Structure 1
Amino acid sequence: MTAPSMFNMAQGDARVGVQAQTIHGDVYHYELPPDASPEQTFRIGVNHLDARLPERARELIENAVARGYETDEVRFHRLLALLSGRTLRQLSNEDFNQLSSICGGISRLDGNGEWTAGLKAVLRLLNSLKTTETDVLLKELDELRPLQRGKILDHLGVLLEGPLEDQLWHRSVERARAGQMADDRADRIWMFFQPAPAHPRVRPVQPAWIPVGDWLQAIIGTSAFLVAIANIGIVLLQRGALSPVLAYLVAAAGTAAFMVGGIDWHFRWQQRRSKDAEFVPPLQRADAPDGGFANGVDRLFDRYFAKYVPRGTDRAYWLTQTAGIRRHLRNEVVEIYREQRIKPDAIAWLVRHLVGDVRQRWETDTLTAYRGQFRTPLQTMALMAAGLVAVILGGLWVAAAAMATAPLGATVGVLVAIGAAVISARAWFRVTTEQRRVQADKVEREQQWAARWAAFNRWQEKLSHKPSDAQMAFWLECDRRILVDEAMRQYQLKPSQVIAHAFIEAPGRAYKRARVRKGPWRYSSYRLLLFLLTDDGVRQVNIDLDFQDCSFHFTQRLNYRFEAVAAVRIDGVASQQQIFELTLVNGAPINVRVTESGTEEIQPGEDPWSLSRVALDASGLLHTLNVMEGIAAEGKEWIRHQRRRADERLGELTATVNGLIN
């Protein structure tokens, strides 16, 4: 993390808002099957605990125990879920009753399994409040397997008081520093906020559209032309001369050559003209309505065309020259993906691919390579020219000979042949060009299809390394632990001098967010409120955490006595947005939007109430609210009361634990 900077900032909860949100609906890490066995229920509970959702974890683990599933592994996690992130002084009477019930239900600990060893270590920690043999306890902790040792440090690092708490805390901070950037966090964390990409699509090939008028002109014109030249041929045969017949044959061959060459020329000319139109800048850009799919696609194309500028090219020049192709590609994407269930971010990979392709062709000077592809070959032009010359010369000779033999009939035939030839030739040019256009489009679509699937598969392969929700929770916990340690250093406090610490985490000022099914939202940036309770009062630190970039800075530090806390409350319905409000005797209220609406983006099988409970569990609000409400109601007396109650209940618990570990 970057070194923190200390400065004051105006209070408030203004934020830019969601830039992107994603729900990984194909992840069932927290999904409890309707017919789940007790062991399956327990495993899902452990998943919640690993994701720092202790309240839901306790509920599921207790359910598994009530149905008869109880092992040392279950007891180990049962204790962690009960004690996670809290000191013994923070436990309520109900918590102590539950703790006594768990410990009293353990008949013996004589196994050699890794979970039995871990359970023994937890029980020794519970029994160590008055001990001075910290070295023995730490040695036993070090001898545990990494999995059990890591879980104990993660969840019970603040459980105790005194020198042992200091050492456990420092070990947990060392673990946090080692794990903060572990598992390629810098290169993977952004993937969590990426939506599942939409599958590739291409614009369908438009079927050949040939107006009836073109077909009538082609058929009727051709028929009239054939009838006319047939009559002229009969006249020439009646004349009996050889040279007009040869001229007739030359004109006929020239007509065929001209049509073959002319059809190919017309198709190429039309294709080049169509492609050129894609590069013509729009006269005026019509912006799509805000918040809609088309507007989201506009932003994607604007972003990536501004980002992917070719080497050695001025950005303004690049944007100006590609305005036409940018609009053409944008229209295509909007057309083929305009569905309510498709989000713009799900096709960002395709926009990047399209923009990258344009940049690559710009850099290799092949952006307008189609002009060479559809340039009329010299042989085609020569065939057209030769055919036209043959038609003109042969036709003049034939016309002169025919009109000399039958002036009226030949004249009519020549005029009909010329008119029909012009009409039918133009019609056949349009008909065959449209038919060839369909074939050319099919080839182009196949190339696009292959290229887009290749890009899609590359993106899928990249996202296959996306971190799990538990991994995200672990990284966030590492950040928080390091932040608490940094705050204590700023205040020159030892862990044993902090009665309790509490976090409230809320979305940052500008963020992306994502979650898995039935999981809490994870944010790319957070606004954190850290409360450190000491004998002298409350130390509050406000922190802006860029979770994705792993950087932070302290925005405000507040110190106040317990008696200065006038009121603490939560505004908002549980399934909707909730705001934490802390009011001091002398000062403006401190407001933090903790949770957001649970009704957004509900997936099948989810419900707003369950999502809101998970969100509260992840935010730390319930734990913090309990602490701050006690302070607001009783002041420093609440701390003394908590200590007296904990000492009394711990005395009762010690006898039970001693019988198990000695």
Structure 2
Amino acid sequence: MTTPVTTNVAQDDAQVGVQAQAVHGNITVYQVAPDAPPVERFSIGVRYLDARMPTRARELIEDAAAQGYETDEVRFHQLLALLSGRTLRQLGTEDLNQLSSICDTIAHLNGTDEWTAGLRAILRLLSSLNTADTELVVKEVEALGPRQRNKIFDHLGVLLEGPLEDRMWHHSIERARAGQLAHDRRERVWMFFHPAPARPRVRAVRPALIPMREQLRTVICAAGFVTAAGTVGWLLLQHGQAPAILAFLLSVAGVAAVIVGGGDLHFRRERLRAKDAAFAPPQQRRAQAASGGFAGQVDGLFTKYFARYVPDGTDRSTWVTRTAGIRRQLRDELVEIYREQPVDAERIAWLVRYLVGDVRQRWEHGTMTAYRAELRAPLSAKALFAGGLLAAVTGGLWMTPTAVLAAPLRGTVCVLLAVACGVIGVRTWFRIASERQRERADRIELEQEFTARWEAYERWKEKLSRRPSDAEMASWLECDRKLLVDQAMRLYRLRPSHVIAHAFIEAPARSDKKARVRSGPWRYSRYRLLLFLLTDDGVRQVDINLDFTTGSSTTTQRLNYRFDAVAAVRIDGVAIQQQTFELTLVNGAPIRVRVTESSTGTLEPGEDPETLSQVALDASGLTHTLNILEGVAAEGKEWIRHQRRRADERLTELTETVRDLID
């Protein structure tokens, strides 16, 4: 065994730091109803095949064929699902029996349909095992329509051995280079890991809260004032003194002006106080919310985006300190309005970004406190209140002596009662009117805010409309893997025909994002890939960290070992829970890799945990790789000889059958 050229990272059995996840439950490309007709089963099977999950694809396509849906297109995809990513020498007895069974259902191919042509090309590849006429075979594949040609190169690039394999591999690598960053991969991959945004919400308008005692006090004071003032006015009329009557009318008009002007001033003052309180730094430190809970996650989002969206020309610490109050208010609002109907915090990340961006924009434009100008009392209201107060006091002082002289006891009591009821009643009315006006103002503001949030929501949805499909994600990953295989073969100076078999184990690396569609496998923003190249000289193992968002990769370890150095291969863990692959070498530490994660905590309605587990294993490449490595661990180099001998016996017979179909 050679010494690794880089640091050993084989013990990557620690917890994967996945910070964010999403299940796109509204995407149902893989959902199969129990009573689905065969055409639908076939269609979904093809989707699984396009997403590089051939085992599940094979099950559904065979179900469709068993229910009577048999066409050349079905048989074409049956063969692809059976042979995808494998050489003919890797096929087991059951696979070869299935291959023979499919061929037995094929009549003589003499049609001109594009799927018939594609099926004929696959059969031509199978029949070319012992021929040297590889040029014509490859040309026939190249002459196919783009759909059939691309599918064959994608899935059957390593099907055969010798020069034909080298030629097919060359075409496959050309397609991988062209497709690795195709369709704006770097601009779109991140969208797949973002959950569907939650619809915008705003706080319900708090209704005007007017205590019953306030209402009762207002009614009593109003009744008392009207009664007392009416009595004073009647006394003044009885004595017929015009100046006193005019003073009385002036006083009444002054009270009315105070009510109108003072009510507006009181509302503006209270509104301004409430607005200022939102910007005031918290008076005491709030208890830290649990980091794993919804409130803690919202806390983290606000902390993250307020730290990121710092206004131009502003010191970060100043920005964070000065916005502590508004940050607290916005955080509390979102926790309140989304906690009652729970959503994942990541689904409102767009709303947090919008709110923080809005605060930053107002800061940069100097409109953070624009409400102060809007709530500044107009001169008309000030004049009305001051003039009314002056008129009420002046008129009251002028008429009071006349009223008291007219009826000393009754006049005195009525004047004092009018003053008391007027003062108390007006102050109570200010609070009532202000609360009602506050409700109306809140309703207008919240309607405007909801409109703004809805527009931001629509913009974000439009941006996410370019989210890649799961098939695109699988295609990009397959391109990465093929290019990594090619890179490894170049590193070891190997041609495809020198490699008996290659296999991948695909596992999540330390990543902060993962997502899947309904009934689909998890896709990760970062992967750890273990590549195994089996050659006549032994196994070449390459450990690779892949940044899927960019397609860039880093080799972290290379190992070379003989076949007899493989002591054991096993899988630990329950199928529907986390599973770990372990490869033990005779004189080395075990190599452990987590290959699947539990999906039971994120099940969507109608999803089956066992099916999800099978899909995850299928997508990870574990089943295929395990078959190879278990054979190597059990038989060593003899496994290759035995596998070739077992396959050759059946393939010779199969080749003759296939030639009869296409000749």
**What is the CA–CA distance in structure 2 between the aligned matches of 1:22 and 1:598, rounded to whole Å?**
11
Query: SS of 2:12's equivalent?
Result: coil
- The one-letter code matched in structure 2 to 1:612 is S
- The one-letter code matched in structure 2 to 1:393 is T
Within 5 Å, give how 1:145-224 maps onto structure 2. Answer: 145-224=145-224
Does residue 366 (structure 1) correspond to residue 383 (structure 2)? The answer is no
Query: SS of 2:276's equivalent?
Result: helix
Matched-pair contact (CA < 8 Å) for 1:6–1:554: no
Within 5 Å, give how 1:421-460 maps onto structure 2. Answer: 421-460=422-461
Matched-pair contact (CA < 8 Å) for 1:498–1:534: yes
Query: SS of 1:518's equivalent?
Result: coil
**What is the CA–CA distance in structure 1 between the aligned matches of 2:238 and 2:79, rounded to whole Å?**
116
**What is the CA–CA distance in structure 2 between the aligned matches of 1:311 and 1:15, rounded to whole Å?**
39
Query: SS of 1:375's equivalent?
Result: coil
Query: Match of 1:610?
Result: 611
Q: Deviations over 1:582-629 (max 9, x none)?
A: 000111101111111131211111111111111111111111111000
Greater alpha carbon shift after TM alignment, 337-346 vs 147-156: 337-346
Greater alpha carbon shift after TM alignment, 643-652 vs 114-123: 643-652
Matched-pair contact (CA < 8 Å) for 1:109–1:660: yes
- The one-letter code matched in structure 2 to 1:315 is R
Shift in Å, 1:460: 1.3
Query: Match of 1:504?
Result: 505
- The one-letter code matched in structure 1 to 2:473 is M
**What is the CA–CA distance in structure 2 between the aligned matches of 1:153 and 1:6, rounded to whole Å?**
33
**What is the CA–CA distance in structure 1 between the aligned matches of 2:504 and 2:512, rounded to whole Å?**
19
Does residue 323 (structure 1) correspond to residue 324 (structure 2)? The answer is yes
**What is the CA–CA distance in structure 2 between the aligned matches of 1:428 and 1:272, rounded to whole Å?**
19
Does residue 537 (structure 1) correspond to residue 544 (structure 2)? The answer is no
**What is the CA–CA distance in structure 1 between the aligned matches of 2:51 and 2:97, rounded to whole Å?**
26
Does residue 125 (structure 1) correspond to residue 100 (structure 2)? The answer is no
Query: SS of 1:559's equivalent?
Result: strand
- The one-letter code matched in structure 2 to 1:497 is H
| Distance change (3 Å), C-alpha of 1:340 and 1:242 | closer
Matched-pair contact (CA < 8 Å) for 1:41–1:60: yes
Q: Deviations over 1:355-381 (max 9, x none)?
A: 111111111111111111111101110
Within 5 Å, give how 1:361-510 maps onto structure 2. Answer: 361-510=362-511
Shift in Å, 1:15: 4.2
**What is the CA–CA distance in structure 1 between the aligned matches of 2:551 and 2:505, rounded to whole Å?**
18
- The one-letter code matched in structure 2 to 1:417 is A
Matched-pair contact (CA < 8 Å) for 1:500–1:533: yes
Alignment: residue pair count: 658
Shift in Å, 1:84: 0.4
Query: Match of 1:68?
Result: 68
**What is the CA–CA distance in structure 1 between the aligned matches of 2:106 and 2:389, rounded to whole Å?**
105
Query: SS of 1:557's equivalent?
Result: strand
Q: Deviations over 1:59-108 (max 9, x none)?
A: 11111111221111111111111100011111111111111222232220
Query: SS of 1:600's equivalent?
Result: helix
Query: Match of 2:594?
Result: 593
**What is the CA–CA distance in structure 2 between the aligned matches of 1:625 and 1:341, rounded to whole Å?**
41
Shift in Å, 1:418: 1.7
Matched-pair contact (CA < 8 Å) for 1:562–1:635: yes
**What is the CA–CA distance in structure 1 between the aligned matches of 2:433 and 2:556, rounded to whole Å?**
71
Matched-pair contact (CA < 8 Å) for 1:14–1:509: no
Query: SS of 1:513's equivalent?
Result: strand
**What is the CA–CA distance in structure 1 between the aligned matches of 2:536 and 2:16, rounded to whole Å?**
38
**What is the CA–CA distance in structure 1 between the aligned matches of 2:406 and 2:8, rounded to whole Å?**
106
Query: SS of 1:505's equivalent?
Result: strand
**What is the CA–CA distance in structure 1 between the aligned matches of 2:235 and 2:490, rounded to whole Å?**
114
Query: SS of 1:205's equivalent?
Result: coil
Matched-pair contact (CA < 8 Å) for 2:16–2:508: no
Query: Match of 1:96?
Result: 96
**What is the CA–CA distance in structure 2 between the aligned matches of 1:37 and 1:335, rounded to whole Å?**
46
Query: SS of 1:108's equivalent?
Result: coil
Question: Where in structure 2 are there 5+ consecutive unaligned residues?
Answer: none
Query: Match of 1:265?
Result: 265
- The one-letter code matched in structure 1 to 2:607 is E
- The one-letter code matched in structure 2 to 1:345 is E
**What is the CA–CA distance in structure 2 between the aligned matches of 1:15 and 1:574, rounded to whole Å?**
18
TM-score (norm 2): 0.97
Shift in Å, 1:340: 5.9
- The one-letter code matched in structure 2 to 1:615 is A
Query: SS of 1:18's equivalent?
Result: coil
Matched-pair contact (CA < 8 Å) for 1:545–1:552: yes
- The one-letter code matched in structure 2 to 1:383 is L
Q: Deviations over 1:507-538 (max 9, x none)?
A: 11123111111111111111111111111111
Within 5 Å, give how 1:74-93 maps onto structure 2. Answer: 74-93=74-93
**What is the CA–CA distance in structure 2 between the aligned matches of 1:387 and 1:305, rounded to whole Å?**
48
- The one-letter code matched in structure 2 to 1:120 is R
Query: Match of 1:109?
Result: 109
Greater alpha carbon shift after TM alignment, 338-347 vs 602-611: 338-347
Greater alpha carbon shift after TM alignment, 550-559 vs 337-346: 337-346
Query: Match of 2:245?
Result: 245
- The one-letter code matched in structure 2 to 1:272 is L
**What is the CA–CA distance in structure 2 between the aligned matches of 1:340 and 1:172, rounded to whole Å?**
49
Query: Match of 2:627?
Result: 626
Matched-pair contact (CA < 8 Å) for 1:48–1:57: yes
Matched-pair contact (CA < 8 Å) for 1:80–1:155: yes
- The one-letter code matched in structure 2 to 1:191 is M
Query: SS of 1:451's equivalent?
Result: helix
**What is the CA–CA distance in structure 2 between the aligned matches of 1:27 and 1:330, rounded to whole Å?**
31
Query: Match of 1:641?
Result: 642
**What is the CA–CA distance in structure 2 between the aligned matches of 1:360 and 1:592, rounded to whole Å?**
47
Q: Deviations over 1:119-178 (max 9, x none)?
A: 111111112223222222222121111111110111101111111111211110110110
Matched-pair contact (CA < 8 Å) for 1:6–1:553: no
Query: Match of 2:236?
Result: 236
**What is the CA–CA distance in structure 1 between the aligned matches of 2:260 and 2:97, rounded to whole Å?**
96
Matched-pair contact (CA < 8 Å) for 2:563–2:637: yes
Shift in Å, 1:261: 0.3
Matched-pair contact (CA < 8 Å) for 1:47–1:470: yes
Query: SS of 2:197's equivalent?
Result: coil
Matched-pair contact (CA < 8 Å) for 2:511–2:524: no
Matched-pair contact (CA < 8 Å) for 2:91–2:647: yes
Matched-pair contact (CA < 8 Å) for 2:250–2:392: yes
- The one-letter code matched in structure 2 to 1:604 is P
Matched-pair contact (CA < 8 Å) for 2:485–2:531: yes
Query: SS of 1:302's equivalent?
Result: helix
- The one-letter code matched in structure 2 to 1:510 is S
**What is the CA–CA distance in structure 2 between the aligned matches of 1:232 and 1:65, rounded to whole Å?**
102
Query: SS of 2:602's equivalent?
Result: coil
Greater alpha carbon shift after TM alignment, 235-244 vs 189-198: 235-244
Greater alpha carbon shift after TM alignment, 302-311 vs 561-570: 302-311
Greater alpha carbon shift after TM alignment, 321-330 vs 408-417: 408-417
Query: SS of 1:569's equivalent?
Result: strand
Shift in Å, 1:498: 0.8
Among all aligned residue pairs of Structure 1 and Structure 2, give the percentage whose two residues are the same amino acid.
64
Shift in Å, 1:642: 0.9
Shift in Å, 1:411: 2.4
Shift in Å, 1:6: 6.8
**What is the CA–CA distance in structure 2 between the aligned matches of 1:395 and 1:16, rounded to whole Å?**
81
**What is the CA–CA distance in structure 2 between the aligned matches of 1:337 and 1:599, rounded to whole Å?**
24
Shift in Å, 1:16: 4.4
Q: Deviations over 1:233-264 (max 9, x none)?
A: 22222332211111111111111111110000
Query: Match of 1:569?
Result: 570
Query: SS of 1:154's equivalent?
Result: helix
| Distance change (3 Å), C-alpha of 1:368 and 1:9 | farther
Query: SS of 2:391's equivalent?
Result: helix
Does residue 7 (structure 1) correspond to residue 9 (structure 2)? The answer is no
- The one-letter code matched in structure 1 to 2:593 is V
Query: SS of 2:45's equivalent?
Result: helix
- The one-letter code matched in structure 1 to 2:203 is R
Does residue 28 (structure 1) correspond to residue 48 (structure 2)? The answer is no
